[in-house]
Chain A
């Protein structure tokens, strides 16, 4: 059975054009970019060309792009590097309650090392409340980190407003843009983000490579120490094939983006309408307007998400859930709890994230089988029984 892949927020297939570009850097131009012979200088210039390509996508300078091993390293570097470089100014740092664990756990780490953290609440659509941010900022606040777009519910944050607030108060602003890069345009000359994290495998590039944009003049310590790579800012022999692949993937992602997004948004909205119109007792999660083009997130009441994923998998569909059972922990997704869902409703969530290769037939197939699967699980559920017998919605918000 052919897999219908609806989990592009988790990772994406590497495009053939990307693999072709990467290939020679494995066994032909394999030289260490720090060496001086020809095969090494070729890999060195490939890195610099890639840097220029990536910088141009964001209207940034090539000297502001630093290659890393991916989104997690970029987030760790941005947050820990800024905190340590600016701790004499203050030890208060701010983030949101719906960040990816790469950000949240890094803030928790810093809170165990003398920094004071404020976690901003979000509204029912997952947006950071601007008033809360203004209230949270203190004289000793040195860093604000708010994601560009949420990985689970697809909500795009009011980044412009947040960056203006930070700029006015001379606070460094980091944004984890791992889910946004490759899906929406970001102009770093217009938007005052100081640090921006990205990861290649989220936009049809290879795994294990990413970048951190560091605005010129931003005070930040190094994170990985060693050799003089990346203008002495990030040590370690460069992942040349990965970097070349990332540049090719980003070029392809931003080519005719508006046109491609129109197609993806059409599919996304078809799924959203199809679920709303054909399945009762569902809750749509995330912002209906400020939303990533590829993200669908619903909670199906009275059923549990992992069961739903297993049944979809048996039908050849790969998707994701915020249920505890899929996260390996006891609690369901912190994002779904932060937007006010009860534990039970959060357990029954389904995330579908589209990619450029998805077709309308695949969406139609999903919409054809999903109502039956949900009903099958509800027929097994004691909570659904209670609901039918009118014992009420006591567990459901």
Chain B
């Protein structure tokens, strides 16, 4: 059902945890649907120095959280904003169609954390939209 990459990222996920003095925190999804993703970002000079996550969800939700955080570390805020769910899916060598919403959730979680960062620092990130209150998928 899942690719080898997905299983690797599920069994040994990277960046699980929290950042105490996070520059931005984003939480998306809801327990009713069975997935919640919380992403923590440490941003310095417009660069994402560190990213961590906590996820309640299925194998795909945990794997996409792991992959998405890996893909944005070291990137600029603008580059992180441009990370699409499609790129995350490709990096995982694909996801089953019914699991694609998990990758959307990962993208949304990164965006929500960036929004929180922008709000806290009173800056504007071009092209960033406010996070949805509740993602139903």
Contact = CB atoms under 8 A, between A and B. Distances in A.
Contacts of B100: none
A380 B58 contact: no
Interface in B1-30: 2, 7, 10-11, 13, 16, 18, 27
Interface centre among A307, A311, A324 (most CB of B within 10 A): A307
Given A307-B59, A380-B55, A347 B10 contact: no
A381 B18 CA distance: 11
B31 interface: yes
Given A379-B16, A380-B54, A385-B54, A347 B31 contact: yes
Question: Range of interface residues on chain B?
Answer: 20 to 34
A302 interface: yes
Interface string A290-314: 0000000000001110110011001
A304 B16 contact: no
Main secondary structure of the interface of A (DSSP, over half): helix
A344 interface: yes
Interface in A265-315: 302-304, 306-307, 310-311, 314
A310 B10 contact: yes
B36 interface: yes
B20 to A, nearest CB: 13
B13 A380 contact: yes
Contact of A314 (B11, B16, B34): B11
Interface in B79-129: 98-99
A211 interface: no
A323 B31 CA distance: 12
A330 interface: yes
B54 A381 contact: yes
A328 interface: yes
Contact of A307 (B10, B18, B98, B99): B10
A303 B54 CA distance: 11
A325 interface: yes
B33 A383 contact: no
Contacts of A304: 34-35, 56-58, 61
Contact of B31 (A314, A330, A343, A380): A343
Interface centre among A311, A380, A383 (most CB of B within 10 A): A380
B27 A325 contact: no
Nearest to B59: A310
A280 to B, nearest CB: 17
29 contacts: A302-B56, A304-B56, A304-B58, A304-B61, A307-B10, A307-B62, A310-B7, A310-B10, A310-B59, A323-B58, A325-B57, A325-B59, A325-B60, A332-B34, A342-B31, A343-B32, A343-B34, A344-B34, A380-B54, A380-B62, A381-B55, A382-B36, A382-B37, A382-B38, A382-B54, A382-B55, A382-B56, A384-B56, A385-B18
Interface of A: 302-304, 306-307, 310-311, 314, 323-325, 328, 330, 332, 342-344, 347, 379-385, 395
Interface of B: 2, 7, 10-11, 13, 16, 18, 27, 31-38, 54-62, 98-99, 137
